[in-house]
Structure 1
C-alpha cells in the first residue's frame, strides 16, 4: 500500500485503534507494518472478547473521528453488502465530540460573512445547543425579531477529513483484493462517500436542499420547512429559522399534549411519498431526531444534509419490479435486474430463479398486518448478497429511508402496518399514472425515443456494413438459444425493412411535392398525398411492431 508520509501521524492513530479493537489482521493485509512497528499488539480485554464484530466496528469508527462516523452512517444504508448485525451497529453510530470555543466560532462567522455576530444578531446564546462532528449549533435572534439557529463548522475539520479520505482511498484497492469473492467495488463506494461528505462540508449544499424542500411543501398544511437566511449563509456558516416544537423521538411529551400520534405517523408516510413520487427528491435521514412535531396536524423536517434522488427511469423499473413480485413472476424480475445492469455474467440463473420464487411465495400469503417492511428488505438484501447483486445507491438510500420511516411510524402508532404504506403507494401511483400531464410527458418521451431510434438505424447500419467490409466483426456466443436468436434477428430484419420503406416513401413523396409539375397534373398531387398516407400507415405499423417486440421480450 502506498503511504503518504505527510499523514504518518494519522496513519499510526488509525492503526492503533484498529489493533485495539482486534483488527490487527487488517494491518497485515494492508502491508503497513512499517507504520505500525512501534504500536504494541496486546491481548484483547475481557469486554472486547464479548463484543460482536459490529460492536467493535462501531466503537472503532466512533474513536477514529468524524470521517469514519460519517462513513459508518453511510455504510449503514448498504444492507446489500453487510450482514444485519453490522448494519444495526452502524445505524447506532453517534458523534462523540467535545465542544470547541465559542470565541473561535465567532471568529469563523466573521471570516465567512464579513460581519460581527453582534451586527447580525440581537441576541446570541454563547452556549451551543448541539456539538456534532462537523459543526456546532447555536440559538440566536435577528434584529428583525425572528428566532434562528446558527450552524458553524469546526475549525480545521476540512483538512482532517481530506487527510482521512486520502488514507481511505489508498486502502480501497486493497479492500477489493481482500474481498475477491465479493463483487462489491469498494473504490466506487468510497468515491460516493467522498462526494457525499464533501457536500456536507459545504453548508451551501444543505441550504439549497432546504430551499428545494420549502418549495415542495410551500402550500402544505401538514409539513413545515424552516426558512433559510441565504444572506448570512456561506460554506462554513448556516443560518436557518428555529423550529419550536417537540422532537419526534420524545413520544411521551407528544402524548402528554394530547396530540394524535396515529395522524402524525400518517403525515410522515404521505410526505415521503409526495417527495418520491412527485419530485424524485427526498429527505434521506428521517430519523426521529430530524423531525419536529408542531401539533397534531403538522410536522417539520430539519437537517437537510442527506438527500436521496430517484430518476424516472429507475423509479419506473422499480415499479415494474413490484408489480412483477405481486404477479409472482420471477423471470420478469430477473429480466429487470439484468436490464438495470446490476447482475454479473457468472450468476447461476436457475438457482437465482428458484430462490426468488421461494421468496415470493413465502411473503405472498402472509397477512398484511404481520408483514414488516424491515424484514422484507433485510431478506432482499441477504438475497442480493448471496448472488453478489449490488443495488444502485439511490435505491439502497430509498430502502433505508423507508425502513427508518416504518420504525418511526410504529413507535408513534403500534397498530401501524405495511398496509398503510401500501395504500399510500397505490394512491400516489395511480394518481400520477393517470394524470393527464404525466400521460402527455410519457407519450412525448416514447415518441422521442422512437424518433431517435429511427434516426440512428441508418448510421448503425453503415457502421455494421463498414465493419463487415473490413472483416472487423467478432461474434461471441455464450449460452444463446438458437430459436430465440432467430426470432430476434427476424424482428430486427422486419423493423429495418419497414424503416427503409418508410424512409423511401417520405423522401419520394417529398420530392414529388417539390416538383414544379405538381400544379399542372392533379394525379401527381394525388400520388404525393397517397405516398404520405402510406408512409403514415407504415410508420404506425413500425411503432406497433416495436412495442410488440418489447412486450414479447418481457
Structure 2
C-alpha cells in the first residue's frame, strides 16, 4: 500500500465522523434511518444530535448535504432522480436542493480562463465583470464583453463586442470530487456486504452512474456540445432560445455562450406586469417539452425555473446544459404505447407493453403485474383532468420496479423528474390548466404517425427491407463456404454438404417470398392511405 493510500485509509474514520456530525447537527440522520441503512449505528448517532429541527426528513438531509459541500450537493441532486430508491417524498425534497455556494475569488477565475484559453484575459474579453452572477457547486458564471476580431487575432469574424456569459469551473473541484467519490465507493461496497437486501439496488453501479454524470458536468466542452445539438434541433423555431456557443473561448474548464435575459419562468407577477400571456407561455412550454422528448429524444435534464426564462418576445430561453437526457426510438415508442394503454385503461395491454420492452423479468406474473398497474392507475382517473399529475403517475409506475424486480430505467426517471418540475411551474402560473392537455394534439398526432396503422405497415416494410439487405450477404457467405470446401479439399460429411445446399436453396426461396411479401405490404399501405 502506498503512503497516500495509507494516509487516506487512516483519515477515513475522521472523515466519516465529520460527515456524521454534520448529519446529526441538521437532524438529517432521520432520513438515513428511514432508508434502514445501518439502523443500529444511525439510531445511536441520532441520540447524540439535536431533535425537533423543523422540516421533513428530506428537507433536513438537503440542508446537511449543502453543508457538506459540492460533491454531496451533486449526490443529493442525483438521488432526487431516483424516487424508486428513496421514495417520492424524499426525492421531491431533494429536487428542491439549491445548488448555490459562496463564489470563489475572481482572480482564481481569471487564472483559470487564461490557463485554459492560452492568452491573457484582456486579450479575450473587452470587459469582464468581477462579480459572478451565479455560483454553484461545480462552477460560477461571469458576464463579459468579447474583444472584437481585429483588436486581437481571434478568428471569430466579429466586428462588434458581444455580450456573453462565461462559466468557469471551481478551482480544485475535480480533485475534491475524486476524494469524495472514493468515500462513496467505500460506503457502497460496505452497504453491499453489510446489508444483503441492498444488493438488488446495486449501490456500486449506482456510484458508477453518479461518477459518470458529474465527470461529464466537469468537462464544459460536453456541455457546449449539448447546447449546440439542442440549438440545432430547434433551428428556425423562434419560440425556444438556446444560447450560441462561442467555441473560440471555450475549453474543458471554461464555457462561453451568448448572453440571454428574461423573466424567470415561475415569476407570475413579473410576467403579468410585462404583459405576457400566461396560457400562451404554458402552451409554448408544453410544445417545447413534447418536441424534445418525442420528436428529438434529447431533452434538457434540469429544467427548474432558475434555468428557464421568458424573453421580451414571449419565447422561452434555457441555460445550463450540464445534465441532458436521451430517449432512443424504442423507448419513445414504449412511452407512446404505455400512454395509449393507460388512457384506454387496458391494464393487460399495459403489462404486455412492459413485457415487449423487456422490462418485466422472466418468471414474473404478467397477470399480477396488470393488477398492480390497475391499483396505481385507477385512483388517477377519478380526478378532474386539471388535477391529474402525469408525472406522479409515471413515478408510481416506475415505483413498481422493486416489487417485480424490474431493472431501473435511469432515462425515464430523469424524464419523470423534469415532468414534475414542469407541472409545478404550470400550476404556479395557472392552476386551472394542465400543461400536458395543452400538448395533447401534438401527442395524438405523433402517436398516429408513429404508432398508428400506417406506422405499423411502414415498420413492417422497413423490417422487410432490412431482411432483404441481409440476404445477399447470407448468399455470398454460403457461396464462399462452398468454394472453400471445393478448393481446399476439406472433407465434409455428405449430410453436411447436403445441408449447405438446402440452406442455399432456402435462402433463394426466402428472397422470393420476401419480394412477394414486400409487394403485399406496399398494396396494404396504398389501401390505408386511400
Could you state the TM-score of these two structures normalised by the residue count of structure 1? 0.75
Q: CA deviation at 1:22?
A: 5.7
Per mean C-alpha deviation after superposition, the further-off stretch among 181-190 and 17-26 is 17-26
Q: Which residue of 2 aligns with 1:175?
A: 191
Per mean C-alpha deviation after superposition, the further-off stretch among 432-441 and 416-425 is 432-441
1:80 correspondence with 2:94: no
Q: Which residue of 2 aligns with 1:217?
A: 234
1:159 correspondence with 2:175: yes
Q: CA deviation at 1:384?
A: 3.6
Distance 2:109 2:358 in 1: 48
Deviation per CA, 1:77-110: give whole Å up to 9, x if none. Answer: 2222222221121111113422211111111111
1:443 correspondence with 2:461: yes
Deviation per CA, 1:435-491: give whole Å up to 9, x if none. Answer: 99998677334532576699899x9xxxxxxxxxxxxxxxxxxxxxxxxxxxxxxxx
1:226 correspondence with 2:243: yes
SS at match of 1:46: coil
Q: CA deviation at 1:280?
A: 1.0
Distance 1:456 1:335 in 2: 34
1:423 correspondence with 2:441: yes
1:363 correspondence with 2:363: no
Q: Which residue of 1 aligns with 2:69?
A: 65
Distance 1:263 1:240, change over 3 A: same
Distance 1:56 1:175, change over 3 A: farther
Q: CA deviation at 1:129?
A: 1.2
1:254 correspondence with 2:230: no
Structure 2 gap segments, 5+ residues each: 148-159, 478-499, 522-530
Distance 2:361 2:454 in 1: 39
1:16 correspondence with 2:21: yes
Distance 1:356 1:540 in 2: 42
**2:109 maps to which of 81, 88, 105:** 105
**1:45 maps to which of 41, 50, 53:** 50
Are the aligned partners of 1:261 and 1:296 in contact in 2 as well (CA < 8 Å)? no
Structure 1 gap segments, 5+ residues each: 460-498, 508-531, 546-554
Q: CA deviation at 1:320?
A: 1.9
Deviation per CA, 1:29-50: give whole Å up to 9, x if none. Answer: 779x9xx9xx9986221334x5
**2:342 maps to which of 325, 345, 363:** 325
Per mean C-alpha deviation after superposition, the further-off stretch among 366-375 and 155-164 is 366-375
Deviation per CA, 1:338-397: give whole Å up to 9, x if none. Answer: 343433456455443322233344434544233222442343244444444343111111
Q: Which residue of 1 aligns with 2:202?
A: 185
Q: Which residue of 2 aligns with 1:142?
A: 146
Deviation per CA, 1:305-358: give whole Å up to 9, x if none. Answer: 111000011211222222222333323333332343433456455443322233
Distance 1:295 1:502, change over 3 A: farther
Per mean C-alpha deviation after superposition, the further-off stretch among 332-341 and 311-320 is 332-341
Distance 1:148 1:16, change over 3 A: same
Distance 1:13 1:195 in 2: 26
SS at match of 2:179: helix
Distance 2:374 2:340 in 1: 14
Are the aligned partners of 2:308 and 2:319 in contact in 1 as well (CA < 8 Å)? yes
1:504 correspondence with 2:522: no
Q: How many corresponding residue pairs?
A: 473
SS at match of 1:45: coil
Are the aligned partners of 1:246 and 1:294 in contact in 2 as well (CA < 8 Å)? yes
Per mean C-alpha deviation after superposition, the further-off stretch among 230-239 and 52-61 is 52-61
Are the aligned partners of 2:240 and 2:288 in contact in 1 as well (CA < 8 Å)? yes
Are the aligned partners of 2:297 and 2:326 in contact in 1 as well (CA < 8 Å)? yes
Distance 1:120 1:181, change over 3 A: closer
Distance 1:137 1:305 in 2: 14
Q: Which residue of 1 aligns with 2:512?
A: 536
Q: Which residue of 1 aligns with 2:217?
A: 200
SS at match of 1:123: strand
Deviation per CA, 1:112-161: give whole Å up to 9, x if none. Answer: 11111111111111111111111111111112321111111111010000
SS at match of 1:316: helix
Deviation per CA, 1:387-427: give whole Å up to 9, x if none. Answer: 44343111111122222112222222322124223333113
Q: CA deviation at 1:302?
A: 0.8
**1:115 maps to which of 110, 113, 119:** 119
1:313 correspondence with 2:330: yes
Q: Which residue of 2 aligns with 1:291?
A: 308
Deviation per CA, 1:223-255: give whole Å up to 9, x if none. Answer: 111111111101111111111221213221111
Structural RMSD (CA): 3.8
Distance 2:374 2:473 in 1: 41
Distance 2:451 2:309 in 1: 32
Distance 1:302 1:352 in 2: 40
Distance 2:459 2:361 in 1: 33
